[in-house]
Homo-oligomer: A and B are copies of this chain.
């Protein structure tokens, strides 16, 4: 497995350990991690810090030119909010752990010429499906349903 997806999964598992929703993300610039994070809904009562948003936030303020050379890794298909953030900052490539449990706004990414790579990683699928099975309310809250 791609080493960066491995780290995104580690972020997700860290979130799970904290009692949170196990979705992790890593922002990579030219082969170097500049931000990593995980969903903070439970831990910080945050409605904006999905995994991808937390990775972006932890990367801090970056010039537009940097984002345009980045790849963002996420364990789960990005929701409309995270998709919008990827479009805002012009991140050209998204590597997605899985989109079987949840299909995000991948069509919108592709329509905007973002390269979308879906790993459909078994560990990501199993992690989310187990979480949703045991925490359906938290999951549906996280996707606004």
Contacts and interface: CB of A to CB of B under 8 A. Distances in A.
A60 interface: yes
Interface string A20-48: 00000000000000000000010001111
B144 A88 contact: yes
Given A48-B57, A141-B64, A79 B90 contact: no
Interface string A52-88: 0100110111111001000000000001111111011
Interface in A123-145: 140-141, 143-145
Determine how many copies of this chain the complex contains.
2
B90 A144 contact: yes
Contact of A45 (B45, B60, B82, B88): B60
A79 B61 CA distance: 17
A49 interface: yes
A85 B84 contact: yes
Contacts of A143: 88
16 contacts: A41-B61, A45-B61, A47-B56, A47-B59, A47-B61, A47-B62, A61-B141, A63-B141, A64-B145, A79-B88, A80-B83, A80-B88, A81-B81, A81-B85, A84-B85, A89-B144
